[in-house]
Copies of this chain bind each other. A is one copy, B any other.
Amino acid sequence: MTAEESVVATAVFAWKQNLKGAEQLFGRLDDQQLLTEVAPGKNRLIYLWGHLIAVHDAMLPLLGLGERVHPELAAIFLTGADKTVAVLPSGTELQSLWDEVNDRLLAGISSFTVADWVQKHSAVSDEDFIANPLRNRLAILLSRTSHVSYHLGQGRLAPT
């Protein structure tokens, strides 16, 4: 492995480690436990899990890997706050969505070369990218890795 290949492989590994941590937390909970708030008055575990899926789904177009596969999740878990939507997917459905979205993402990024990673992501204009070349696809992966960890830290506080 060259040094530059090693660098991107390390970033993808960190992403996978965080996904594994989230799966270990959310995937073992039953539907009742998923309704637990992480702290009094705060988001419920089910919302955090769905929120992560919706955010990862939106990474597909950002990384040039095609359209979102479940755009319907945005209204429930991105634009909609927790407890404002009456009917949420079940834990079984969320597990299936989680697997589908993350498998598709991973299949796409696994073939990325270093040159692919440093390309601009789709939400930045050509001009802005010239001004700031760090607004690249890797920046998306790293910020979403931190994002998983952010909500994992919250989810682990829940009294389940």
Q: Name which of A14, A115, A136 has the most chain B CB atoms within 10 A of its CB.
A: A14
Which partner residue on chain B sits nearest A116 by CB separation? Answer: B3
Interface set of A (CB-CB < 8 Å, partner B)? 1, 3-4, 6-11, 13-14, 17-18, 38-40, 42, 114-115, 117-118, 133-134, 136, 138-139, 142-143, 145-154, 157
| Closest partner residue, chain B, to A143 (CB atom) | B14
Question: A7-B138, A10-B118, A42-B157 provided; 17 other pairs, C-beta below 8 A?
Answer: A1-B133, A3-B4, A3-B114, A3-B117, A6-B134, A6-B136, A6-B138, A7-B8, A10-B139, A18-B146, A39-B157, A142-B145, A145-B145, A145-B146, A150-B152, A153-B153, A154-B157
